[in-house]
Amino acid sequence: MGYFNNQTGYPTDILSTRAIIKRGNYALIPPNGLVRNVIPGFENCDVTILSTPKLGATFVDYLVTLHDCGRNTKGFGGEELETFVYVIDGAITASADATDYPLTAGGYLYCPAGVTLRLENANGGQSSRLFLYKRRYQRIKGYEAHVVSNNVANLEKIHYEGMSEVILQDLLPKDLGFDMNMHILSFAPGASHGYIETHVQEHGAYILSGAGVYNLDNEWMPVKQGDYIFMGAYVQQAGYAVGQETFSYIYSKDCNRDVEP
């Protein structure tokens, strides 16, 4: 149920949810239960805020539906904020300051701090869905990030840690000017991580396809396309793909910076 699935009104069964919220640790947020958040600058859009500092994240993630004439032309991001948009489905024009980037499904645009991101639906009257991210940029002397736009269809498919059934795609350059990256990890049915990870970096992950059984904080739970997962610093994490389809998710990861004691 919920606006995101066009299922509102009287319930047909006992109210229940798969959502699990462990602030500062991890969260599993399925599409049922999402609500709209009004954010100045977004017109003809449904916006849902996902991870925030209130959940324990150092970044903010959003799901955005741009309806007919949907747009944010006021600008998203700011002086010290880096932003990233990924097109889940549909077609949009994204702009980095005055430069336009037409994006279709799988297309993305990264704007470094100080470059404003603008969004406009371009899907012939149909809606477009976006995964949107922002974070306070951690500057280091001598390095700069820059605007990046591409489509995942053009990216190298890397065998993840030697496993041909698990494919990694890096959406941003491995350049010290970048303090974060976006990746897509895709598991063939039956494939899994090689081990349960424990690391300081945080992730915000949106499941693009398929289904899996995922370990968060050493608990196994079913997850599927449309679910969002926040993984906080150090939380145990790994997954198995189940069913017939490739289990694939896009996720952010902070990188290339030391930690202040």
Contact residues for Mn ion (CB under 5 A)? Answer: 197
Interaction between residue 118 and ligand UGY (CB under 6 A): no
Interaction between residue 253 and ligand UGY (CB under 6 A): yes
Please tell me what DSSP assigns to residue 132: E
Q: Match 């889940």 to its residue by tokens.
A: 88
Q: How far apart, in whole angstroms, are the C-alpha atoms of residue 55 and residue 230?
A: 9
Residue type, 242: V
Which of 76, 214 has the CB closer to ligand UGY?
A: 214
Measured CA to CA in angstroms, residue 119 lies from 64, 69, 165 at distances of 10, 10, 35
Which of 104, 236 has the CB closer to ligand UGY?
A: 236
Query: CB of 185: closest distance to ligand UGY in angstroms?
Result: 5
Rule CB under 6 A: which of 189-248 touch ligand UGY? 197, 203, 231, 237
Which of 204, 226 has the CB closer to ligand UGY?
A: 204
Query: CB of 216: closest distance to Mn ion in angstroms?
Result: 11
Query: CB of 216: closest distance to ligand UGY in angstroms?
Result: 9
Query: CB of 21: closest distance to ligand UGY in angstroms?
Result: 18
Measured CA to CA in angstroms, residue 244 lies from 52, 189, 191, 210, 211 at distances of 33, 6, 12, 8, 9
Q: Match 């699935």 to its residue by tokens.
A: 5
Binding at 71: pick from ligand UGY, Mn ion, none (beta carbon under 5-8 Å per type):
none
Integer Rg of the chain from CA? 18
Binding at 185: pick from Mn ion, ligand UGY, none (beta carbon under 5-8 Å per type):
ligand UGY
| CA angle 208–213–216, rounded 5-degree value | 95
Q: Is 197 exposed, middle or buried (0-12, 13-18, 19+ CB in 10 A)?
A: middle
Interaction between residue 185 and ligand UGY (CB under 6 A): yes
Query: CB of 16: closest distance to Mn ion in angstroms?
Result: 29
Which of 132, 231 has the CB closer to ligand UGY?
A: 231
Binding at 213: pick from ligand UGY, Mn ion, none (beta carbon under 5-8 Å per type):
none
Query: CB of 183: closest distance to Mn ion in angstroms?
Result: 9
Which of 1, 207 has the CB closer to ligand UGY?
A: 207
Interaction between residue 18 and ligand UGY (CB under 6 A): no
Instruction: Give the SS3 label for residue 153.
Output: helix
**Of 171, 114, 125, 170, residue with least CA distance to 148:** 171
Give, rounded to a whole angstrom, the gap between the first and last alpha carbons of the chain. Answer: 45
